[in-house]
Amino acid sequence: MSSTRNTAFPASDTALRVEPLARPLPARQAAASILQGFDRHYALFRYSAQRAKALFEAGDWRGMQQLSRERIDYYDQRVRECASALASRLARQGGDADPSPHWQAIKQEFVALLDEHSQPECAETFFNSVSCRVLRREYFNNACLFVRPAVATEYLEGQRPAFRAYYPTRTGLRATLRRMLGDFGLAAPFEDLPRDVRLLARAAVGLLRQALPKGHGPRLGQDCQVHVHATLFFRNKGAYLVGRLVNQGAIHPFCIPLLRLPSGQIHVDALLHGQDALSRVFSFARTYFLVDMEAPSATVRFLATLLPRKPLAELYTMIGLQKQGKTLFYRDFLQHLAHSGDQFETAAGIPGMVMFVFTLPSYPYVFKIIRDRIEKDRMSAAIVRRKYQQVKLHDRAGRMADTWEYSQVALPRHRFSDALLQALRTHIPSQLEEQGDTLVFRHVYIERRMTPLNIYLWQAGPQARAAALAEYGDAIRELAATNLFPGDMLFKNFGVTRLGRVVFYDYDEIQSMAEMNFRHIPEAPDDDAEMSAETWYATGPNDVFPEEFEHFLFSDPALREPFAAKHAELLRPEWWRDCQARIARGGIADIFPYDPGIRFPSHTSSTGDGLAQQR
């Protein structure tokens, strides 16, 4: 990526055209106006997390879903408001003169205003978004933007620390756990707090026994501390206590999910520990958390000690600050490009009919661009964008990859082979602009790279293949339980993550379950009709015949048999109709980011939605 003029910092959306007025707004006033816009945004962002706590206590799961959807749009709404307010007052000196010097002055004044601010990194990203909306594309450039952070956040804290510390060697493990749970001040009683504390203590001892060398026993050293994030992480129907046990110099990350039962009581559901377990909780395929943070950089620093393999960009995204995640991804990618030499290449797998996908082998992400000529009937670029936005707002249930959406992405021409460049010119000419040594892509989706399921199944041995097919069935079940029908269920549209999870990533044909008509295949009137390549029955646009899955997806017995061993009912319309009926009754699925086998017992095992509990 280049730092020359016309190279946009892609933490923004399409630039807003602004008509010049008589005189420019003084730089300090403009900077203050932008910061006020950000402060309004972040106040609403924090209020959402505070509302999430009340919704969890009340068991208002529909309200929680609605809040999660609404919050995603908060940022763009505040950017539009701020840009509109500036547009009514800001002008370019000399009419068509270059406004860059004035915006550089605004940027300097903005930095001065961030002294003692608790969210400076997010405020800088907000500044970028506003400036890219206000300036015409020929004028916004990296000198007017925060390409690198201007304010350090390494040791930034709010008025209250991001985490609380407990000392189990002083008070005892059970007393520590009891106090730790009580300090969150939930306005609902625990179902059986002594039992939950006893189960947690037993599981914690097991954690230590696994972590320490053989023969040492589950000992707590004199330096033993338990650090817990000061506020809970809310998502869907769960609240998550996130922390770390520091013992004898080692950090043991853990997470404690809390559930609200139909009785209105709180139940400790499990103790999750280890980086892999927490990675599933903070997966890129799950809905963003609602968590109250005065200084988000302190929260991210804390999470980074628990999940050191996760990029900071993904951690910011998972706590709901996806625009800051975009900014950090861009910075990380610039750094990677400067220190690597490999070339972009077409992504592995069967080429899609809707997206052209390429990747950089040394970087674990793919770049997806809508083709100019979409090879699917009744499909357009506008529909594809709408589907991707639908997924962004939906409960992804750990089964749909999140994407970062960028505009005006500039990449160095020399990192593209002649063959790939020719393919880009052929398939996405309207999305490509060639500017000397730079290629500018007008609209790009970026997401985590996964192994396409069809390739994984072809390469895997029998045991791994069976596990992946079981995961594939689980993914379909969980998507359906959240009221989404994948549409095209071919293996090439699913990927396998590092942890072996199967995730869906082709969204152009998704529809709600309520729209679908799941049918049996009618009996053929005669043998000739049954042997014919043509169907002998009429079909509607939303008709689905699950019995056909067996023929189109599992013609190979090596695939059909392990799938049918666990998911045979998915090949019959009755299961799908039952799922539709449960959704119509208003049920919200219990889909937890951990295995059911580790759950603690409860006097009341169901959360009351009538749906089968799944992972």
In DSSP terms, which residues pair with 266 in a beta bridge?
Answer: 190, 260
Q: What are the phi and psi torsion angles at 254 (to 5°)? A: -150, 165
Active-site hit among 292, 402, 506, 508: 402
Angle at 444 between CA 439 and CA 450, to 5 degrees: 110
Q: Which residues touch 570 (CB under 8 Å, ≥6 apart)? A: 473, 476, 477, 546, 549, 576
Residue pair 289/234 in contact (Cβ under 8 Å)? The answer is yes
Count of beta carbons in the 10 Å neighbourhood of residue 14: 12
Report CA dihedral (5, 11, 14, 15) to the nearest 10 degrees: -50
Angle at 533 between CA 527 and CA 538, to 5 degrees: 85
- DSSP secondary-structure letter at 353? S
402 is catalytic: yes
3-state class of 242 per DSSP? Answer: strand
Please report, for residues 179, 338, 453, the alpha-carbon distance to residue 412 in angstroms, rounded to integers and kept in the order given. 55, 10, 31
Token pair of 497 as six digits: 């993550």
Q: Which of 339, 353, 352, 326 is nearest to 409 (CA)?
A: 326
How far is 314 from 321, CA to CA, in rounded Å? 9
Residue pair 447/404 in contact (Cβ under 8 Å)? The answer is yes
The structure tokens 């969210």 sit at: 119
Residue pair 589/482 in contact (Cβ under 8 Å)? The answer is yes
Catalytic residues, which ones?
402
